[in-house]
Amino acid sequence: MSKIKEVQTKPYTDQKMGTSGLRKKVKVYQQENYIENFIQSVFDSYKPEDYKGKTLVIGGDGRFYNDVAIQLTIKIGVANGVGKIVLAENGLMSTPAVSLLIRSQPKGECYGGFIFTASHNPGGPNEDMGIKFNGDNGAAIPEGKNNEVFEASKKITKYLILDTNEKFPMDKPSEIKVEENGTVRTVKIEIESTTKRYVEEMQKLFDFDLIKTLFKRDDFHFIFDGLNGISGPYAIAIFQDIFGVPKENLDKCKPLPDFGGLHPDPNLVHAKDLDAKMDVFKKDLSKKVPDFGAACDGDADRNIIFGPRMLVSPSDSLAAITNNADLIKSLTRNGPLKGVARSMPTSGAVDRVAKKKGLQCYEVPTGWKFFGNLLDDGRITLCGEESFGTGSDHIREKDGVWAILCWLTILAQKNKDNKGKLIGIPEIMQEHWKCYGRDYYCRYDYEDLNNEQAAKVKENLNKSLETWKTMKEGNEACVFEYNDPVDHSVSKNQGWIYKYKNGSRIIFRFSGTSSAGATVRIYFEKHVDPDGNLLADVADVVKSGDNFPELAVKLSDIHNVAGRTGPTVIT
């Protein structure tokens, strides 16, 4: 029998959520009452009737300190009056699977869910942890609610928690009996399989029998890298157990609290083993390489897609999936595409596809929460962002494994009636570029700027907007502002856009996913028409003609301001 105690506390001033939840170093979360304050602030930002007696879902990517945070959340949730807790087995569940689990609860009975993840950020005692809250629609709560949580965190004086040192089992169902105001109530903790519900949903959304025909081909070789994140169990359950991919083709598929010391970000910098296997850089034509390589990030909401000796940029991936949507059961199960959306820094490749197909294409700020309203309102079916995220209306998060299944479906459909040479990812992308042209695209990240340096860069960018417009005929420049067509909320100061007449762009944005310091992301997008050179090196193209990296340095003066000679990371 547990009782509820009220603990006096003092507020922290740094609990404002960024693009996707509250991300901090583990040592920050280990401060007295830090986690307790934040979890209580989420409850305080809602009315009691929104959560009392309702179901609370809890899961995470298994990173260091998640187990401590989950135990505290159970105790605080029950103390605040939730009626049932649905807990991922051992606390392990991908972010897209948690969204699906929330949406699978009986209508009106679920409060929402806490997801313990810092996504693609590194994990371990000296690295990052994150907490995000998704509402009853399975989506990360919108900007307005984020602000309400932050305001509550600045005013908090107490939190409620069960007065017990008991650790609740995370691998089997249990009950908590709570004595409150002279009565006893029972709260059940149900355990949800890490993978079962998600795998069953994917079997409904995709034609697995069709995909199996692709894997039966002798000339199709598939590899996957889980980067020691939560995607591993899903890869084993689908790619190995259902499609028959050999175990040795699935690398780093056991979730580890520190991701094996790796940075679980699926890009050309951090997925080095996969890059090497796909021969992206050396291009040794004497070497046989796989036909399809893929990886997901720490919480399995991001994806990277490789063909032999080539990376499919996330922007191109979104455009190609849109172009081939009629081949994908998941996207046509309720009729043709309703519309598509991309984040502002994502290239305009999908815009060209949408225009040709007569689809509405929305441009939103970075952050998956901005897609939520469009999905809930039925305005779009498919959406994506340049930071390796793709998703659809099946859940309210981006979904790495789902995106890989989309690509496998496209390849299976293209090769369905072909007994000859495999039509692979290079052939599909070259066909796409010949129709729409190619948007050569890369990103420079300047990490760990201090507040003064960040403010100076912003000042320089604001000054350069008018200068840019006079540099060449047809140039446009603005600070991106988003007016949500559904709830009519306005999100200002979402990035600086410097645009050419043909659609090529240089974009500056300050990241909201860093756990410390400021990260400036600079995006370079050069459009080449269908009759141009479609097979050039990306780095060469962005530096040709108007040298975009040089222009970016001039516009922001970031090297002088931050004392740098180049970016921290290029992707």
- Residue 123 near residue 222 (C-beta atoms within 8 A): no
pLDDT at 369: 87
pLDDT at 420: 87
CA triple 137-140-145, angle to 5 deg: 100
Tokens of 329: 């059961």
Residue 501 DSSP one-character state: T
**119 has catalytic annotation:** yes
pLDDT digits (tens, 9 = 90+) for 237-267: 999 999 999 999 999 999 999 999 999 999 8
Catalytic residue, candidates 119, 153, 347, 387:
119
pLDDT at 245: 98
Tokens of 267: 């890009």
What are φ and ψ of residue 121, in 5° steps? -75, 150
pLDDT at 385: 96
pTM of the model: 0.95
Residues of the chain with pLDDT under 50: none
Four-residue CA torsion sign, 121, 127, 132, 138:
positive
Coil, helix or strand at residue 268 = coil
pLDDT at 182: 86
pLDDT at 486: 93
pLDDT at 514: 55
Dihedral of CA atoms 264, 408, 314, 113 in degrees, nearest 10, equals -60
pLDDT at 143: 85
